[in-house]
Amino acid sequence: MSKTGEPDMPSKLRIAAVRPVTGKQLLTVDWNNGKRHTIDLSAFLDQFPAMAALKNPERFDQVAVGEWGFDVTWGDGLELAASTLHRLALEQSGEVMPTRDFKHWMAKNNLSLSAAAVELGFTRRTITAYSSGAALIPKHVALACRGWEYEHR
């Protein structure tokens, strides 16, 4: 956690090992800090047409740790950064709120950046970082959004 209480990705976090889960679009990633996450890439692959080749199970299973551990690669320019994998791992484990969920919460409740900042007790700058994906959204913010909705029914 950073000084602001937000989950952060240490700049030295690297991938120590990666293994595909056979027959699925899942990767098991071992990090150099000793943690392990199994990450579902199916929605990610659907979202980015440039990654469509990885929908082929044989191709997906060719994953390897990239040079220095800052990414995974399948060759031919198909790579995913460690920071992207880490964000997906945290979102899928419920440790952080996905940016799209935060943006959906704001839209559903007709809240501007400034209004969301006031309602959640953050600066507009923080809300801008959350809604743009520039900052990870801590679990307590997700809980605050749910609580806000409950109070405003």
Question: H/E element holding 140?
Answer: helix 139-151
Q: Are strands 96-97 and 78-81 parallel, antiparallel or unpaired?
A: unpaired
One-letter amino acid identity for 141?
V
CA–CA dist 77, 79 (Å, integer): 6
CATH architecture of 96-151: Orthogonal Bundle (1.10)
> How many C-beta atoms surround the C-beta of residue 62 within 10 A?
14
Which band of pLDDT confidence, cut at 50, 70 and 90, is reported for residue 4? very low
127-142 confidence digits (pLDDT tens): 999 999 899 999 999 9
Q: What is the mean pLDDT of the chain?
A: 91
CATH architecture of 15-92: 2-Layer Sandwich (3.30)
Q: Where in the chain is the domain with CATH 1.10.260.40?
A: 96-151
Q: What is the pTM of this model?
A: 0.78
Strand partners, 31: 15
CA dihedral over 38, 36, 102, 11, signed as positive or negative: negative
Q: Where in the chain is the domain with CATH 3.30.2020.10?
A: 15-92
Residue 11 pLDDT:
60
